[in-house]
Amino acid sequence: MPRYALKVEYHGAPFAGWQRQKDQPSVQAAIETALARLEPRDHTIAAAGRTDAGVHGLAQVAHCDMQRDWDPFRLSEALNHHLKPAPVAIVDCAPVADDWHARFSAIERRYLFRLLMRRAPATHDAGLVWQVKHPLDARAMHAAAQRLVGRHDFTTFRSSICQADSPLKTLDRLDVTLTDGFSGPEIRFDVRARSFLHNQVRSFVGTLERVGAGAWSADDVTAALEARDRAACGPVCPPQGLYLAGVGYPDDPFPG
**pLDDT tens digits, residue range 51-106?**
999 999 999 999 999 999 999 999 999 999 999 999 999 999 999 999 999 999 99
Look at residue 253 and tell me if it is in a domain. Answer: no
pLDDT-derived band at 139, boundaries 50, 70, 90: very high
Specify the pLDDT at position 181.
86
Residues 114 and 216 placed together within one structural domain of the fold: yes
Residues 45 and 138 placed together within one structural domain of the fold: no
String of DSSP letters for 179-209: EE-SSSEEEEEEEEES---TTHHHHHHHHHH
Residues 91 and 8 placed together within one structural domain of the fold: yes
| CATH number of the domain within which 7 lies | 3.30.70.580
pLDDT-derived band at 15, boundaries 50, 70, 90: very high
Domain boundary among 77, 105, 133: 105
* Interval 98-138: pLDDT, tens: 999 999 999 999 999 999 999 999 999 999 999 999 999 99
Domain count within the chain = 2
Residues 232 and 128 placed together within one structural domain of the fold: yes
CB 95 within 8 A of CB 2: yes
Residues 37 and 149 placed together within one structural domain of the fold: no
pLDDT at 256 over 80: no
Strands (E), the chain: 3-10, 46-47, 56-65, 88-96, 108-117, 130-132, 150-153, 168-180, 185-193, 242-248
Residues 170 and 188 placed together within one structural domain of the fold: yes
Specify the pLDDT at position 161.
87
Specify the pLDDT at position 251.
93
pLDDT-derived band at 33, boundaries 50, 70, 90: very high
Distance CA 192, CA 199 (A): 14
CB 204 within 8 A of CB 171: no
Distance CA 10, CA 4 (A): 19
Look at residue 255 and tell me if it is in a domain. Answer: no
* Mean of pLDDT values over 223-237: 97
Residues 192 and 101 placed together within one structural domain of the fold: no
Residues 65 and 114 placed together within one structural domain of the fold: no
Specify the pLDDT at position 218.
98
Residues 121 and 88 placed together within one structural domain of the fold: no
Domain boundary among 86, 105, 124: 105
Specify the pLDDT at position 152.
98
Active-site pick, 23, 42, 52, 175: 52
Q: Tell me the pLDDT of the chain averaged across its residues.
A: 97
Specify the pLDDT at position 163.
85
The whole model's pTM is what?
A: 0.96
Residues 17 and 28 placed together within one structural domain of the fold: yes
Residue 25: asked if its preceding bond is cis (omega within 30°), the reply is no
Residues 215 and 94 placed together within one structural domain of the fold: no
| CATH number of the domain within which 216 lies | 3.30.70.660
Residues 124 and 98 placed together within one structural domain of the fold: no
Range of the domain at 19: 3-105
Between residues 256 and 129, which one has the greater pLDDT? 129
Distance CA 164, CA 197 (A): 7
Closest alpha carbon to 195 in 235, 140, 158? 158
219 counts as catalytic: no
